[in-house]
Amino acid sequence: MSGTWEGGASGSGTLKALMNAPFVSLYGLGAQRDTLFATMDTLPVRAGAAIDSLATNRLAVFQMLKSGETRLVVGASALVAGTAADTIELWLVLPGVPHAGQVDALIGAPTLDEAKAGRATVAFGMVRYNSPGSPPVVQRIFRSTGGTVNIRELVFVGPAALCGWVRGDFDFNVTGTELSTGADLGMRRVTGTFKSTLTVLQPADSVRDGAITARAAAVPLPPATVTQCTF
């Protein structure tokens, strides 16, 4: 197989892949900017209801190959509008090694403990609201109850890939919980798009997911020995 692939968006440069099996070379043309845009609306939709939004260039995307932990993890964070230090996080945790055009169904809801830990027995998405502290404290969690993630473009660099590029969109429903009181915060709908470089971890590596008992308010992080892919 041989050929080329090119993708990008206005204002964020272009990635170009040159394929000559079994090798793929990936080039950055112009400045690359990882981006994620999302909105979270109330369910059922009501006129005048508040709609939260998230627009950020702070993404951490990892393809894990460790036995028993094979998954694609997308994490994004941003400051909450109107606050000085409160943050909002959006997580997508998908199974296996996805491919372009694949639809990954968020087939179930993680338990609250699984959402706190960032690990679950099902593919899932979630939104977390955090207040500042050392470590920061997760105040509210909205966990998926169903929906989809579409992988629109995906490029890995070579058979022993360390870097890649992914673009996709998502649409899923969530149920919210106030952690301090256990109060039900109702149902919401999360929709959005993302594009990012991704780091492919070696089969021996895991991801530090940021459990509430450890580094609470943080998108997923690689092991200290891993250098995150950049272009």
Taking the C-alpha atoms of 42, 45, 49 and 53 in order, what is their torsion angle to the nearest 10 degrees?
50
Q: Is residue 58 part of a domain?
A: yes
pLDDT band with cut points at 50, 70 and 90 for residue 225: low
Q: Is residue 37 part of a domain?
A: yes
Q: Is residue 148 part of a domain?
A: yes
- Taking only the tens place, the pLDDT of each residue in 191-208 is 999 998 888 887 877 776
Number of folded domains in the chain? Answer: 1
Closest CA to 5 of 22, 21, 24: 24
Q: Is residue 226 part of a domain?
A: no
pLDDT band with cut points at 50, 70 and 90 for residue 45: low
Q: Is residue 90 part of a domain?
A: yes
Helices (H), 85-187: 112-117
Answer with the residue of higher pLDDT: 204 or 177.
Answer: 177
Q: Is residue 113 part of a domain?
A: yes
- Taking only the tens place, the pLDDT of each residue in 98-148 is 777 788 888 788 998 888 877 888 999 999 988 877 667 888 999 999 999
Closest CA to 210 of 199, 198, 195, 222: 222
Structural domain including 97 reads: 33-200
DSSP 112: H
Closest CA to 191 of 35, 37, 34, 33: 37
Q: Is residue 210 part of a domain?
A: no
Q: Is residue 207 part of a domain?
A: no
d(CA 130, CA 203): 31
